[in-house]
């Protein structure tokens, strides 16, 4: 029982989790029909990539990977602020969040 508690986790499992989360984010981006939930799927993909960065930082025992995640977080915060402002502007002019009805630029 004691050996079970001290057991270690292969880092490739973390990478696998990251790959699955990224794929779920892509699927969400494809099947969601609401502007806000599509945006949330993008955040999910960013988080999945961050997990990979932290895993590789652990693997090579460097801090560069963690610093990259910090910068990704900063960019994600800026992106969320601008993206949600755009969503509010779109909602004000079109009065809907359904992407099927926001098709002015569609061929």
Partner 1 sequence: MHLILFFMFAGFCLAGAVNLLLQSHPINSALSLIVVMTSLAVLYLLLGAEFLAAAQVIVYAGAIMVLFTLVVMLLNAGREARTRGSLAARVVGFPAVVTILAVLATVVLHLQGMGVARASDGITSTAELGAVLFTRLLLPFEVTSVLILIAILGAVALARHGNGEEAADK
Among the listed residues 49, 91, 94, 102, the single contact to partner 1 using CB under 8 A = 91
Among the listed residues 43, 49, 94, 102, the single contact to partner 1 using CB under 8 A = 43
> In this structure, are residues 89 and 102 in contact, taking their beta carbons and an 8 Å threshold?
no
> Between helices 35-60 and 11-31, what is the axis angle to 10°?
170
Positions 12 through 41 that interact with partner 1 (CB under 8 A)? 12-17, 19-28, 30-34, 36-37, 39-41
Among the listed residues 49, 51, 94, 102, the single contact to partner 1 using CB under 8 A = 51
- Kindly state whether residue 7 participates in binding partner 1, applying the rule CB under 8 A: yes
CA angle 60, 64, 67 (to 5 degrees): 135
Among the listed residues 1, 5, 105, 107, the single contact to partner 1 using CB under 8 A = 5
Q: Any alpha helices (H) in 32-63, and if so which ranges?
A: 35-60
């Amino acid at each position: 029982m004691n050996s079970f508690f001290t057991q270690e986790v292969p880092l490739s499992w973390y990478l696998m989790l990251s790959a699955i989360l990224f794929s779920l984010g892509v699927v969400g981006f494809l099947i969601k029909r609401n502007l806000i939930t599509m945006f949330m799927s993008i955040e999910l993909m960013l988080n999945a990539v961050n997990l990979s960065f932290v895993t590789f930082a652990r693997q090579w025992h460097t801090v560069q990977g963690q610093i990259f995640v910090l910068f990704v977080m900063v960019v994600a915060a800026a992106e969320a602020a601008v993206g949600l402002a755009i969503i509010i502007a779109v909602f004000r002019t079109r009065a809907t969040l359904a992407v099927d009805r926001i098709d002015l630029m569609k061929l």
